[in-house]
Amino acid sequence: MKQRIVLDLTDLTPNAMGSASLTWWGTLAFMLIEGTGFVLMIAVYLYLASLAPVWPPGVPPPDPGPGLWMTLILLVSVVPNALVSRWAGRQDLRRVRIGLVIMTLLGAASLLPRIYEFGAMQVLWDRNAYGSVVWMLLGLHTTHILTDLIDTIVLCALMFTRHGANPRRFGDVQDNALYWHFVVLTWLPILACLYGVPRL
């Protein structure tokens, strides 16, 4: 089998930031893969909705309260997340520490409305195809929140140790901030599907 090099990344250094970092490219690839998963689940949701005479079938539309709280928390988190990324680029350890603590709190806070959101769907995962796809969408997004939250907690802890001054850690903080933006952006089409489509 003949192999062809698509992109040569051998000149990238381990301590680089942004697109000059191997970790950045890995994070980008991960987001593309996970984004494809979200697109597929949304396509399944819309396909099922197109087949059903009534959507959602046999249950009332979801209560929008928890979803709106989730959206508010995620949108508020965009500002400190962008600041943390900027401070990491400047290698401002003191501000990065403060920003990571704030992002840890916001990430944890976003899980609170999600707990109620499953109940707000007013359907169990095993009741019908609607319940399955709704719970799958919420479950996938929750997994991404947890993934980034755990990464943020680990980075926050590292930044309060002697390892915080390592330039590579600042690149990790930027990559983590990039991933959180992905978590926020993927929520918006899910929000439209779960809360908007049943009310059309």
- Whole-prediction pTM value? 0.86
Residue with tokens 């959206």: 71
- pLDDT given for residue 77 in this prediction: 97
CATH topology of domain 20-199: Four Helix Bundle (Hemerythrin (Met), subunit A) (1.20.120)
| Residues of the chain falling short of pLDDT 50 | none
**What end-to-end distance do the CA atoms of the chain give, in Å?**
52
Reported as half-sphere exposure (CB side, CA atoms, 13 A), residue 91 has a value of 11
pLDDT digits (tens, 9 = 90+) for 38-86: 999 999 999 999 998 888 998 899 999 999 999 999 999 999 999 999 9
Task: Give the per-residue pLDDT at 81.
Answer: 97
Res 126: pLDDT: 84
pLDDT score, position 137: 95
Contact 38, 185 (CB under 8 A): no
Give the span between the Cα atoms of 131 and 28, in whole angstroms.
31
* pLDDT value for 96: 96
User: How far apart (Å, rounded) are the C-alpha atoms in residues 135 and 105?
Assistant: 25
pLDDT for 176 equals 94
- 56 cis-preceded (ω within 30 degrees of 0): yes
**pLDDT at residue 22, rounded to an integer:** 73
